[in-house]
Chain A
Amino acid sequence: MGGLAHIPILSIVIFFPMVGVLFLLLIDKESESVLKGTALAFSIIEFALSLPLIVYFRSDTAKFQFVERIPWVKSFGVQYFLGIDGISLLLVMLTTFLTVLCILSSWRAIKDHLKEYMIAMLFLETGMLGAFIALDLVLFYIFWEMMLIPMYLLIGVWGGPRRIYAAVKFFLYTMVGSVLMMVAIMALYFLYHRATGVYTFDITKLYQLNLPLGPQMWMFAAFSLAFAIKVPMFPFHTWLPDAHTEAPTAGSVILAGVLLKMGTYGFIRFSIPLFPSAAHKFVPLIMVLAVIGIIYGALVAMMQKDVKKLVAYSSVSHLGFVMLGMFALNIQSVEGSIYQMLNHGISTGALFLIVGMIYERRHTRLIKDFGGLSKQLPIYATFFMIVTLSSIGLPGTNGFVGEFLILLGTFKSSRVFAVFAATGVVLGAAYMLWMFQRVMFGKLDKEENKVLKDLNFREIMTLVPLVVLIFWMGVYPSFFLGKMQKSVSHFLTQVNTKIAARQMLDHGNRALAENIWNNGKIKIVNVN
Chain B
Amino acid sequence: MMSHIWLIPFFPMVGFLINGLLGVRFKRSWIHVIAASAIGLSFLTTIILFVDLMKVAPEARHFEDVLFNWIVAGKFKAQVAFLIDPLSIVMALVVTGVSFMIHIYSGGYMEDDPGFRRFFVYLNLFVFSMLILILANNFLLMFVGWEGVGLCSYLLIGFWFEKDSAANAGKKAFVVNRIGDFGFVLGLFLIVATLSQHGIWSLDFDVVFKNAPLFSTTTVTAITLLLFVGATGKSAQIPLYVWLPDAMEGPTPVSSLIHAATMVTAGVYMIARCNVLYSMAPVSLEVVAVIGALTAFYAATMALVNNDFKRILAYSTVSQLGYMFMGVGVGAYSAGIFHLMTHAFFKGLLFLASGCVMHAMAGELDIRKMGGLKKFMPVTFWTYMMATLAICGIPGFSGFFSKDEILWQSFHRGHIVVWLLGTVAAGLTAFYMFRLTFVAFFGKPRMDDELKHHLHEAPKVMTYPMIVLAIASVVGGYIGVPEVLGGSNRFEKFFEPVFTGGAAHALAHASASVEFLMMGISVAVAVIGIIVAYLFYIKNPELPVRLANGMKGLYTLLYNKYFVDEIYNSLFVQGTKDFATFLWQKVDVGIVDAAVNGVASLVEWSGGMIRKLQTGYVQTYAFSILVGGVVVFVYFFWESLF
Q: Which residues of A contact B (CB under 8 A)?
A: 169, 172-173, 175-176, 179-180, 183-184, 187, 191, 214-215, 218, 222, 234-235, 237-239, 296, 299-300, 302-304, 330-332, 335-336, 372, 374-375, 389, 394-396, 401, 404-405, 407-408, 411-412, 415, 418-419, 422-423, 425-426, 429-430, 433-434, 437, 440-444, 475-478, 481-482, 485, 489
Near A by CB (< 8 A), chain B positions 425-480 give: none
Nearest chain-B residue to A333 (Cβ)? B73
B175 touches A (CB below 8 Å): yes
Interface pair A179/B580, CB less than 8 Å apart: no
Query: Do A299 and B71 form a contact, CB below 8 Å, given A183-B634, A215-B641, A434-B171?
Result: no
Nearest chain-B residue to A438 (Cβ)? B167
Return B84 CB to nearest CB of chain A, in Å.
22
Contact flags B39-81 to A (C-beta < 8 A → 1, else 0):
0000000000000000000000000000011111110100000
B524 touches A (CB below 8 Å): no
Interface pair A303/B577, CB less than 8 Å apart: yes
Query: Do A429 and B72 form a contact, CB below 8 Å, given A395-B143, A395-B144, A443-B162?
Result: no
* A residues in contact with B76, CB < 8 Å: 332, 408
Interface pair B175/A433, CB less than 8 Å apart: yes
Nearest chain-A residue to B634 (Cβ)? A183
8 new A-B contacts, CB < 8 A, other than A173-B596, A408-B76, A408-B188, are A187-B637, A296-B583, A296-B587, A303-B577, A303-B581, A332-B76, A477-B71, A485-B72
Nearest chain-B residue to A424 (Cβ)? B182
Show 22 A/B contacts (Cβ-Cβ < 8 Å), sorted by A. A172-B622, A187-B638, A215-B640, A218-B637, A239-B596, A299-B580, A300-B588, A330-B74, A372-B161, A394-B151, A395-B143, A395-B144, A395-B147, A401-B71, A405-B71, A426-B182, A430-B175, A437-B167, A440-B161, A477-B71, A485-B72, A489-B74
Q: Which residues of B contact A (CB under 8 A)?
A: 68-74, 76, 140, 143-144, 146-148, 151, 154, 158, 161-162, 164, 167-168, 170-171, 174-175, 178-179, 181-182, 185-186, 188-190, 192-193, 196, 576-577, 579-581, 583-584, 587-588, 592-593, 596, 600, 622, 626, 630, 633-634, 637-638, 640-641
* A residues in contact with B175, CB < 8 Å: 426, 429-430, 433
Interface pair B592/A429, CB less than 8 Å apart: no
Q: Which of A183, A300, A418 contacts B637 (CB 8 A)?
A: A183
The 9 tightest CB contacts between A and B, nearest first, are A331-B74, A441-B167, A238-B593, A441-B161, A411-B189, A299-B580, A395-B144, A300-B584, A429-B178
A396 to B167, CA, bound (A): 23
Q: Which of B140, B143, B162, B592 contacts A444 (CB 8 A)?
A: B162
Query: Do A332 and B167 form a contact, CB below 8 Å, given A299-B583, A372-B162?
Result: no
Interface pair A335/B162, CB less than 8 Å apart: no
Nearest chain-A residue to B150 (Cβ)? A394
A395 to B71, CA, bound (A): 11
Chain B interface, >50% SS class: helix
Return B628 CB to nearest CB of chain A, in Å.
12
Query: Do A419 and B186 form a contact, CB below 8 Å, given A433-B171, A437-B167?
Result: yes
Interface pair B73/A332, CB less than 8 Å apart: yes
Chain A interface, >50% SS class: helix
Query: Do A442 and B171 form a contact, CB below 8 Å, given A176-B626, A299-B580, A481-B72?
Result: no
Return A216 CB to nearest CB of chain B, in Å.
10
* B residues in contact with A173, CB < 8 Å: 596
Return B429 CB to nearest CB of chain A, in Å.
33
A66 to B175, CA, bound (A): 47
Return B9 CB to nearest CB of chain A, in Å.
12
Q: Which of A180, A372, A394, A477 contacts B147 (CB 8 A)?
A: A394
Interface pair B640/A218, CB less than 8 Å apart: yes
Interface pair B167/A477, CB less than 8 Å apart: no
A304 to B588, CA, bound (A): 12
Interface pair A299/B576, CB less than 8 Å apart: yes
* B residues in contact with A302, CB < 8 Å: 576-577, 580
Interface pair A441/B162, CB less than 8 Å apart: yes
A489 to B74, CA, bound (A): 8
Return A470 CB to nearest CB of chain B, in Å.
14
Nearest chain-B residue to A176 (Cβ)? B626
* A residues in contact with B146, CB < 8 Å: 395
Return B467 CB to nearest CB of chain A, in Å.
37
Return A389 CB to nearest CB of chain B, in Å.
7
* B residues in contact with A475, CB < 8 Å: 70
Interface pair A442/B73, CB less than 8 Å apart: no
Interface pair B193/A238, CB less than 8 Å apart: no
A423 to B186, CA, bound (A): 11
Interface pair B144/A481, CB less than 8 Å apart: no
Interface pair B71/A183, CB less than 8 Å apart: no
Query: Do A407 and B164 form a contact, CB below 8 Å, given A401-B71, A426-B178?
Result: no
Nearest chain-A residue to B183 (Cβ)? A422
* B residues in contact with A441, CB < 8 Å: 158, 161-162, 164, 167
* B residues in contact with A222, CB < 8 Å: 633, 637
Nearest chain-A residue to B168 (Cβ)? A437
* A residues in contact with B641, CB < 8 Å: 187, 191, 214-215, 218
A214 to B639, CA, bound (A): 11
Interface pair B161/A478, CB less than 8 Å apart: no
Interface pair A423/B70, CB less than 8 Å apart: no
A444 to B41, CA, bound (A): 40
